[in-house]
Amino acid sequence: THIRFSGENASHLKQADLDQLNDDIEKAHLQLHEKTGAGNDCLGWIDLPEKMMNSDEFSRIKIAAEAIQHSSDVLLVIGIGGSYLGARAAMDMLNHSFQHMLPEDKRNVPHVIFAGNHISSTYIRDLQDVLENKDVSINVISKSGTTPEPAIAFRIFRRLLEDKYGKDEARKRIYVTTNAENGALKTVAETEGYDTFVIPNDVGGRYSVLTAVGLLPVAVSGIAIDDIINGAQSAMHDLNEPDPNNNPAYQYASARNILYNKGKTTELLITYEPHLHMFSEWWKQLFGESEGKNQTGIFPAPAHFTTDLHSMGQYIQDGRRDLFETILHVNRPKKTMTLGKDAENADGLNYLAGKTLHDINDKAYQGTVLAHTDGGVPNLVIDVPALDAYTFGYLVYFFEKACAMSGYLLGVNPFDQPGVEAYKRNMLALLGKPELDDEREHLETRLNA
C-alpha cells in the first residue's frame, strides 16, 4: 500500500491484544461493506472515489472551477465543520505556503478565502474591506442548508455581490453545494437559479471532502482533483482487505482502541510540517465527531512539532499519562533545502552544514519518539511517502476507513452527531427563533438565576 502503519514504538500494544481483535475487525468490515451496521444509511463514502471519477458532477465541478478562475480574484467559500475543513486541509497541504502573496503571474488562480465558520463581526468587516476592489465569486456549502454560521455569512456576502454586480450578474457568481432535496439553501438556489452541486444523502458532512464540498474549492485553487480522486481510489482498493495484517487503516484503528482500553484516552496527532495543520484539524473533526458519544471515545488533539515541543512538550514528556501520539511522518518534503557552512561559525552550527532541513527535522522526530516513549507515551507512526494531491486523496480515505472501523470497535455509530444539536438549539432559542419560545423562557431563567 501507499502508506505504512507502525506500532513498534508503542510497548503497550501486545500481539495478543491485536490478535484478539481480529474477529471483531472481520465482523465490522462485513458490516461496513454489506451495510448492516449502525449508521448504514451513511456509507456512501465507501465507493465514492470510484463513483465520483466517472460522474457528470465531476465534469461540472471542473467546468465551474475554470469559470471561477477566469471571472474572479477571490472565491469566498462559506461553510463550517465538514463543509469546510477538508477543502482547507487540501489547500494548506498542497498549495504554496504563501500562495496569496505570490506575484500574480505565479499565482494565476483566485485567492480562496473561507467564511461562515464562526460568527465574528470583526472578521466579516475586515473581509468586506479587502473584497471592495476584487472580483468575487461565492461557493456556499451546507448539507442541511440551515446551519446558522454559514447562513448568516451567506446572507451578508450575497448582498455584497448583489450590490456590487446587480442581481443577474451576482447570480452567475454564486455556486451552491447542498443536499438534493430540501432546506433553506436548496430553496434559495432553486428560486434564484444558482449553479448547484449535490452532497449525497448517504455521505455525512465530515466524510464529504471527496464530493463537490471539497473538490470545487480545491479545484479553483489550482489543485489537480483527478489526482486526489485517483489517490482515494487506490486507497479504496488497498484498504478493502478484511485481514488487519494487510490493512494499515485497520491496524491503526485497532491500535488506538487497544491503547484506549489501557487508559490512553487522548490521542495527539503529530505533524512536523506546518502545512499539515489544517489536515490535523480535519482529522480532529472526523474522529471527534464520529467517536465522542455515549460518554466514550478517544479525545483527538492535533499537535504541531517541533513548534509545540516548546509549548506542550513538557506536558507530553511528563504530565498525566493518559496520552498516546500518532505521528503523520512525511518521508519526502515538498521542497528541500540544505544548510550552508558559515566561515565564522559564531552560532556553532557548522556541524549541521551540508545536512538538509528535512534531515534535521527527522532527527527531531526520531529523538522525540525515543524521549516520549521513555516518558511512557506510546507512539504510533503513519508513514507518508510524499505530500501531493494523490497522497491527500489516499490519506483522506485511509482516515475515513480507519475512523469507521474504530467507531465500530468502540461500539458507537461513527456516522451521526446528535450532540452537535444541543448548543444550536439553545443558541437559536435564546435568539428568539419563533418555534423555540418555551425553551427560551426556560434557558433565560437558568441564565438569570
Active site residues: 289, 424
Joined grid coordinates for residue 334: 515538498
To the nearest whole angstrom, how small is the minimum distance from the Cβ of residue 139 to ligand PA5? 13
Question: What does DSSP assign to residue 386?
Answer: E
Q: Of 195, 289, 388, 400, which one interacts with ligand PA5 (CB under 6 A)?
A: 289
Using an 8 Å Cβ cutoff, are 74 and 113 in contact? yes
* Selected range binding ligand PA5 among 25-33, 203-211, 328-336, 366-374, rule: CB under 6 A: 203-211
Q: Which is nearer to ligand PA5, 81 or 244 (CB)?
A: 81
CA distance 210 to 86: 8
To the nearest whole angstrom, how small is the minimum distance from the Cβ of residue 413 to ligand PA5? 13
List CB contacts of 41: < 8 A, sequence separation 6 or more.
201, 202
Using an 8 Å Cβ cutoff, are 245 and 115 in contact? no
Q: Of 21, 65, 80, 429, which one interacts with ligand PA5 (CB under 6 A)?
A: 80
Taking phi over 0 as left and psi of -120 to 50 as alpha, with beta for the rest, 22 belongs to alpha
Type of residue at 233: Q
Taking phi over 0 as left and psi of -120 to 50 as alpha, with beta for the rest, 307 belongs to alpha
In the beta sheet, which residues pair with residue 139?
Answer: 77, 175
Q: Which is nearer to ligand PA5, 31 or 417 (CB)?
A: 417
Q: Which is nearer to ligand PA5, 110 or 205 (CB)?
A: 205
**Footprint of ligand PA5 on residues 227-286 (CB under 6 A)?**
none
- Residues in contact with ligand PA5, counted by CB under 6 A, come to a total of 15
Residue nearest to ligand PA5 (CB): 205
Q: Which is nearer to ligand PA5, 186 or 206 (CB)?
A: 206
List CB contacts of 236: < 8 A, sequence separation 6 or more.
46, 47, 49, 50, 397
Is residue 326 classed as helix, strand or coil in its secondary structure? strand
Q: Of 88, 158, 173, 206, which one interacts with ligand PA5 (CB under 6 A)?
A: 206
Q: What angle do CA 294, 300, 262 make, to 5 degrees?
A: 70
For the chain, the distance separating the N- and C-terminal CA atoms, rounded to the nearest angstrom, is 59
To the nearest whole angstrom, how small is the minimum distance from the Cβ of residue 143 to ligand PA5? 4
**Footprint of ligand PA5 on residues 297-316 (CB under 6 A)?**
none
Question: Distance of CA 215 to CAs 83, 129, 137, 341, 351, Å?
Answer: 11, 28, 16, 44, 45
Q: Which is nearer to ligand PA5, 362 or 416 (CB)?
A: 416
Q: Of 39, 204, 217, 231, which one interacts with ligand PA5 (CB under 6 A)?
A: 204
* Selected range binding ligand PA5 among 77-85, 130-138, 276-284, 373-381, rule: CB under 6 A: 77-85
Q: Which is nearer to ligand PA5, 85 or 382 (CB)?
A: 85
Q: Of 39, 82, 222, 393, which one interacts with ligand PA5 (CB under 6 A)?
A: 82
**Footprint of ligand PA5 on residues 123-162 (CB under 6 A)?**
142-144, 147, 150
To the nearest whole angstrom, how small is the minimum distance from the Cβ of residue 427 to ligand PA5? 13
**Footprint of ligand PA5 on residues 364-423 (CB under 6 A)?**
417, 420
To the nearest whole angstrom, how small is the minimum distance from the Cβ of residue 415 to ligand PA5? 9
To the nearest whole angstrom, how small is the minimum distance from the Cβ of residue 205 to ligand PA5? 2
Using an 8 Å Cβ cutoff, are 233 and 53 in contact? yes
Q: Which is nearer to ligand PA5, 103 or 418 (CB)?
A: 418
List CB contacts of 210: < 8 A, sequence separation 6 or more.
45, 48, 49, 52, 86, 228, 229, 232, 393, 396, 397
Residues 161-200 as x/- pattern, contact with ligand PA5 by CB under 6 A: ----------------------------------------
* Selected range binding ligand PA5 among 43-51, 74-82, 247-255, 317-325, rule: CB under 6 A: 74-82
CA distance 357 to 239: 33
Q: Which is nearer to ligand PA5, 77 or 387 (CB)?
A: 77
Q: Largest Cα–Cα distance of the chain, in whole Å?
A: 76
List CB contacts of 82: < 8 A, sequence separation 6 or more.
143, 204, 205, 206, 207, 208, 209, 213, 285
Should residue 83 be labelled a site residue for ligand PA5 when binding is judged by CB under 6 A?
yes
To the nearest whole angstrom, how small is the minimum distance from the Cβ of residue 293 to ligand PA5? 13
Should residue 86 be labelled a site residue for ligand PA5 when binding is judged by CB under 6 A?
no
Residue ranges in contact with ligand PA5 by CB under 6 A: 80-83, 142-144, 147, 150, 204-206, 289, 417, 420
